């Protein structure tokens, strides 16, 4: 079976890229987009792109490893990679809206304007008064 060994090598390489690359991209995105209440983020757009790249890598690398494992008849290895793909899909799905918001593709609607409070009672003609005190 000449195709078995190269498939395992490619799958291992993809999983190493996934295991090292995704946390590294996440840390870089966090360092660019991190903000405290009194400070601004260093570069939120750049952080959003890194976060989006992390989300894509979380899905694409184990998915490619799964497909290579299926083609190379490495069923257990492909099954493990398929589970990793599903986990990456969940994490990537949670990261993508935040990344798109940081990049500026999707914006959250502004909060509704507060309703003004009436501080005095205005009497109108033609009826009895309903104002407190008179």
Domain spans of the chain?
A: 4-34+42-103
* pLDDT at 77 exceeding the cut of 80: yes
Instruction: Quote the mean pLDDT of the chain.
Output: 79
Can you tell me the mean pLDDT for 22-46? 76
Contact 81, 11 (CB under 8 A): yes
Considering the chain, what percentage of its residues have pLDDT values greater than 70?
75
Name the band, by pLDDT with cuts 50, 70 and 90, for residue 3.
Answer: very low
Q: Please give the pLDDT value at position 38.
A: 65
**Count of other CB atoms within 10 angstroms of residue 26:** 19
* pLDDT at 2 exceeding the cut of 60: no
| String of DSSP letters for 60-96 | HHHHHHHHHHHHTT-HHHHHHHHHHHHHHHHHHHHHH
* pLDDT at 102 exceeding the cut of 50: yes
Can you tell me the mean pLDDT for 58-70? 88
94 Cβ partners below 8 Å, 6+ apart?
Answer: none
Contact 118, 64 (CB under 8 A): no
Give the whole-angstrom CA distance, residue 112 versus residue 118: 18
> What's this model's pTM, rounded to 2 decimal places?
0.66
């Amino acid at each position: 079976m000449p195709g078995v060994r190269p498939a395992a090598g490619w799958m291992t390489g993809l999983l190493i890229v996934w295991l090292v690359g995704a946390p590294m991209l996440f840390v870089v995105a966090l360092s660019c987009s991190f903000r405290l209440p009194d400070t601004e983020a260093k570069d939120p757009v750049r952080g959003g792109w890194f976060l989006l790249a992390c989300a894509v890598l979380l899905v694409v690398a184990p998915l490619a490893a799964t497909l290579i494992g299926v083609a190379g008849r490495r069923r257990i290895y492909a099954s493990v990679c398929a589970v990793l793909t599903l986990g990456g899909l969940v994490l990537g799905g949670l990261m993508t809206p935040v990344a798109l918001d940081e990049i500026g593709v999707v914006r959250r609607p502004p909060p509704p304007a507060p309703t003004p409070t009436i501080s005095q009672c205005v009497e109108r003609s033609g009826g009895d008064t309903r104002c407190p005190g008179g």
